[in-house]
Structure 1
Amino acid sequence: MSIKLSDLSKEEKAELAKQLAAEKQTEKEQRTANLKALEEIAQEQLPIVIEQLQNASQALENAKLFAYTSFIDYLKLKIETIGISSTQKTHTISLPNAKIILGYRVTDGYDDNANYGLALVHKFLGSLAKDAESAKLMKLVNRLLQKNAKGDLDSKKVLELSQHANEEYPNTEFAEGMALIQNAYKPTMSKWFIEATTIDGQGVEKTIPLNITSCDLPKDFDLSFLLPKNE
């Protein structure tokens, strides 16, 4: 049942205002208490959690060193016996029930000369007639020369386009520009990595999580309250 303020007496309005003020004060005091409780929880738990995570990080670092140290002789003997390319980035060691991959990844990168190459390529495209064949080439170039989120070109796509330019458009600004881009390639080595899997009796592989994001929380650990709600 709704109450109209106009139906209340002066004394009733005063009492209602007093009640509202008291309710507001209670809410303010509860908020202050909650903020204090949050600070106390953070002060108590954060140092403990940070220490646990530091220990976990150190344990992973030690395990990484242990894995590489354990297989140094294996890798040296493999090189001596089988002979592998010095450009081979990964080495897989496996048994029927387990597999480990040791190696490093390469991050694509290009120096400033790549921009000159891109300019030549686009200059060549601009000189083409506006027909279906030219439109097809422009679509191919735009797809293969698309930069990633870091602003780098994909070296495999650059190689593919360079081969196409040399085969279909030799001695053109297109081929010259692609050569400039290829020569501007300056890859950098990323950190050494480890991937490990176990293999069950049915041949199903299960990856061993080696970073904290990959590690699953227990299935009965409920964090659904943090997820978006359909309102």
Structure 2
Amino acid sequence: MENEKKVQVEMTAEQAEAFAAFQAKQKKEAEAAQRKADRETYAKMVDEEVAAVIPELRRLSDNIKVVKSKVYQNFAQVLDIKSNVLGITKDTQRTHTFTHSDGNMRLTLGYNCIDGYRDTVEDGIAMVKQYIESLATDEKTKSLVSAIMRLLSRDGMGNLKASRVLQLRKMAEESNDDKFMEGVKIIEEAYQPTMTRQFIRAEYKDKKGQWHIIPLSVTDADTDEEEEAEVKK
């Protein structure tokens, strides 16, 4: 095999500069071409994975709908019997919890609810504030005024919280003030909640006697990696 001979080319300064510029241009074009190929590969991977997972998630959603509907259908008769046995009108109770006789499983069915009030709530609030203004100004009554004003504070949607109105009624009953009690009554009568979606909460008790909620949504269901991370904390 003949020895390869190295050819040495002499270039002027201008030629060397032009050659270096040519090499830099080639390198830049090659890098740009590689980035474009990488983007095309990435886009292809995204398309393939999205196309593969969306049908699975749609099937999962459909299965959840079927099971949810079945659960409510199965418990419709149970709710009727509960209403007859306990004398409770079904429409007045938003959630129903059923616990297995062995104490290891329980199921809660109900509606999510958004608090809301008719315009007459303002009349009730005005009457309650009148009562507040009629109080004396000593330290004892100052704390009572502060507590009542906290109960009248509104949420982000501009509504009173139903749980706070319940506390307000207890305070009105303890006050024995007719004006205060009437104002709270008007607030309660103005209550007009909006029922949103039905929910199901299923729980089981482990061998140590601790309750665990069964995750029924993609958000609540932890992956293996998330469970391992939680254990390491």
Match of residue 54 from structure 1: 58
Q: 1:153 aligns with which of 146, 155, 160?
A: 160
Give runs of aligned pairs for residues 20-169 of structure 1, distance below 5 A: 28-80=32-84, 82-86=85-89, 87-88=92-93, 89-96=95-102, 97-122=104-129, 125=132, 131-168=138-175
TM-score, normalising length from structure 2?
Answer: 0.70
1:200 to partner: Cα distance: 3.3
The residue type paired with residue 85 of structure 1 is I
Question: Counterparts of 2:105 and 2:87 in 1: how far apart (Å)?
Answer: 23
1:186 CA drift (Å): 0.4
Structure 2: gaps (5+ residues): 1-12
Is the CA contact (8 Å cut-off) linking 2:123 and 2:183 kept in structure 1?
yes
Work out the percentage of aligned pairs sharing the same amino acid: 31
Question: Matches of 1:120 and 1:110 in 2, distance apart?
Answer: 16
TM-score w.r.t. length of structure 1 = 0.70
More off after superposition, 120-129 vs 110-119:
120-129
CA spacing shift, 1:220–1:132, aligned 2, 3 Å:
closer
Query: Whose radius of gyration is greater, 1 or 2?
Result: 2
Instruction: Give the 3 Å change call, closer, same or farther, for CA 115–73 of structure 1 in structure 2.
Output: closer
CA distance change for structure 1 residues 16 and 105 in 2, over 3 Å: closer, same or farther? same
1:43-77 C-alpha deviation (Å, 9 max, x unpaired): 22223222111111111111112222333333434
Q: Which amino acid aligns with 1:90?
A: H
What is the CA-CA distance between 1:166 and the residue it aligns to?
4.9
Structure 1 unaligned regions, length at least 5: 1-8, 224-231
How many residue pairs are counted as aligned between the two chains?
213
Single out whichever of 18-27 and 55-64 deviates more from structure 2: 18-27
SS in structure 1 of the partner of residue 225 of structure 2: coil
Aligned counterpart in structure 2 of residue 190 of structure 1, from 166, 191, 196: 196
